């Protein structure tokens, strides 16, 4: 059988067309991830553009690489800003004076934007990975059937690369269009007391190509790793073997790292003699490591919570949901893992938002220190919004994919007499239980790490209100994803549905 006929057979629509639906979901996920990541990368590029004498990254890190004459002009601008600080001091600042002085904060903006971009790499990869796994979940079953029917390993590999790469490439191209659509909205934002320009937010063709290649490679790697199981043992794929339970060592590592991080932040003043950059590196490093540890312990915590609820279920929906979580706790964690970062960011943003309202009784709207804290708060809110959107899309895609992937189980439950309301409730609980768990763990970790350095601000009512609003946003978006999954399940029509359709 030639490759063209095999490709047509592989992409037959089936009685329910679930293959086309999961492909569309995967493309949407790739597009969302690409659009958000390029937008954040554009913001980082804008701050680098402002922090460099000739608007290049090389000049920013090494003055010898600046275009002739640009660094001298830049140095005079910074010297003028320093004179303004000495002249105005704690007096009344004008808008023009504030804009000139904000150039001296440029390196700090680049550092914070780079940290935000680094944080958002996690949900970006998670969303792209969920898209790849969603497509692979339906692809594996069909590839296994083709292998059993006599298709060679080489043919299966080519089909996988073509299918996965095509979906990722199309999603990345749609994401680029989304990035272009978002640029005018980002240009309305005010950072450093000035608006961004298109030139500042434009990342350039090399960056667009690199992101497209990265998304496509991520999809190919995920697909080919899954393909290894199909090529070796197609019967094992068709039998859908279970997942091992996470071990308790994850919790021990999490607690140990959290304790060390708390001690470091509690004694951060001891590192002041090493310089401001070292202090910032320690603070950001501890927070990033804390978030990484939440991802390490997440699967174990979700499994333990589901196990405790499964021992004493209050109704059939609870039992169904908890057994599904225990069947694959890693999948349940992936559905909500993006929220861990969003809640983490919500904790930090709430404090920055409070500090931006007044520092030491200073309420001058054009005071550079006030503008700096205001911009940090705004950047935190933007990062929170991007992380929440990525988490919600990832969760919605994974939940909807699970509906298609588990359609045979739903059909059996329906034939045994389980009503639609119970199945809807079970699907929602399958999301809400891990969601509540991850919010508690991530929020507790964030508050614990913030407490040594910003204890007073953290307990302020305004700060707590901002934190609650951020968490509420995450919660609402995740529940919306659960509702979308239920809507998809209603459209399936479980009766007569087969897994190979």
Supply the pLDDT for residue 463: 67
Q: What is the DSSP letter of 359?
A: B
The answer to whether residues 131 and 219 touch, using CB atoms and an 8 Å cutoff, is yes
Dmax of the chain from CA atoms?
Answer: 82
Residue 183 reports pLDDT greater than 90: yes
Instruction: Give the range with max mean pLDDT: 82-96, 222-236, 322-336.
Output: 322-336
Residue 495 reports pLDDT greater than 80: no
The answer to whether residues 391 and 439 touch, using CB atoms and an 8 Å cutoff, is no
Which of 2-6, 70-74, 274-278 is predicted with the least confidence, judged by mean pLDDT?
2-6
pLDDT single digits (tens) 289-303: 887 888 888 889 888
Residue 202 reports pLDDT greater than 80: yes
Q: Give the separation between CA 452 and CA 457, rounded to whole angstroms.
A: 11
Confidence of residue 237 (pLDDT cuts 50, 70, 90): very low
pLDDT single digits (tens) 207-224: 999 999 988 888 887 777
Q: How many CB atoms lie within 10 A of CB 425?
A: 19
Domain ranges of the chain: 1-241, 243-501
Q: Give the separation between CA 175 and CA 313, rounded to whole angstroms.
A: 43
pLDDT single digits (tens) 371-403: 887 888 788 888 888 887 887 787 777 777 777
Q: How many helices (H) and strands (E) does the chain have?
A: 18, 2
The answer to whether residues 427 and 489 touch, using CB atoms and an 8 Å cutoff, is yes
* Tokens standing for residue 412: 């059996």
Of 5 and 314, more confident? 314
Confidence of residue 501 (pLDDT cuts 50, 70, 90): very low
Q: Give the separation between CA 154 and CA 166, rounded to whole angstroms.
A: 18
The answer to whether residues 208 and 35 touch, using CB atoms and an 8 Å cutoff, is no
Q: What is the DSSP letter of 362?
A: B
**Percent over 90 (pLDDT), the chain:** 9
pTM attached to this predicted model: 0.77
Which of 54-58, 134-138, 266-270, 463-467 is predicted with the least confidence, judged by mean pLDDT?
134-138
């Amino acid at each position: 059988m030639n490759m063209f006929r095999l490709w047509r057979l592989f992409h037959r629509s089936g009685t329910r067309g679930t293959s086309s639906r999961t492909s569309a979901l995967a493309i949407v996920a790739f597009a969302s991830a690409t659009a958000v990541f390029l937008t954040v990368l554009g913001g980082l590029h804008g701050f680098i553009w402002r922090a460099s004498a000739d608007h290049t990254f090389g000049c920013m890190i090494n003055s010898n690489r600046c275009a002739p004459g640009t660094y001298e002009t830049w140095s005079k601008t910074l010297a003028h800003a320093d004179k303004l600080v000495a002249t105005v001091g704690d007096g009344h600042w004008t808008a023009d004076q504030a804009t000139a002085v904000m150039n001296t904060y440029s390196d700090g903006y680049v550092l914070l934007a780079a940290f935000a971009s680094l944080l958002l790499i996690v949900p970006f990869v998670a969303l792209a990975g969920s898209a790849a796994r969603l497509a692979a979940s339906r692809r594996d079953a069909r590839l296994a059937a083709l292998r059993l029917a006599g298709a060679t390993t080489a043919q299966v590999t080519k089909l996988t690369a073509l299918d996965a790469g095509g979906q990722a490439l199309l999603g990345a191209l749609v994401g680029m269009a989304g990035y272009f659509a978002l640029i005018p909205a980002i240009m309305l934002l005010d950072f450093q007391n000035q608006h961004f320009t298109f030139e500042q937010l434009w990342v350039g063709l090399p960056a667009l190509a690199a992101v497209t290649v990265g998304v496509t490679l991520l999809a190919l790697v995920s697909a080919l790793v899954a393909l290894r199981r199909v090529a070796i043992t197609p019967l094992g794929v068709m039998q859908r073997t279970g997942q091992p339970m996470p071990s308790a060592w994850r919790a021990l590592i999490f607690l140990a790292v959290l304790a060390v991080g708390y001690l470091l932040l509690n004694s951060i003043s001891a590192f002041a003699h090493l310089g401001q950059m070292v202090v910032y590196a320690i603070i950001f490093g501890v927070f990033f490591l804390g978030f990484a540890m939440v991802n390490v312990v997440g699967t174990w915590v979700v499994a333990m919570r589901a196990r405790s609820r499964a021992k004493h279920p209050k109704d059939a929906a609870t039992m169904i949901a908890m057994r599904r979580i225990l069947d694959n706790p890693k999948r349940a964690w992936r559905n909500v893992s993006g929220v861990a970062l969003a809640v983490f960011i919500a904790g930090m943003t709430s404090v920055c938002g409070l500090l931006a309202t007044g520092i030491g009784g200073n309420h001058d709207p054009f005071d550079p220190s006030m503008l700096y804290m205001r911009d940090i708060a705004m950047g935190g809110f933007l990062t929170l919004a991007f992380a929440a959107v990525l988490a919600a899309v990832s969760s919605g895609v994974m939940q909807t994919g699970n509906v298609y992937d588990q359609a045979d189980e739903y059909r059996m439950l329906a034939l045994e007499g389980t009503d639609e309301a119970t199945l809807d409730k079970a699907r929602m609980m399958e999301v809400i239980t891990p969601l509540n768990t991850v919010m508690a763990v991530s929020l507790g970790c964030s508050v614990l790490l913030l407490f040594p350095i910003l204890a007073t601000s953290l307990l302020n009512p305004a700060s707590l209100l901002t934190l609650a609003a951020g968490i509420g946003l995450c919660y609402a978006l995740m529940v919306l994803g659960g509702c979308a999954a239920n809507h998809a399940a209603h459209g399936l029509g479980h009766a007569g549905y087969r897994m190979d359709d």
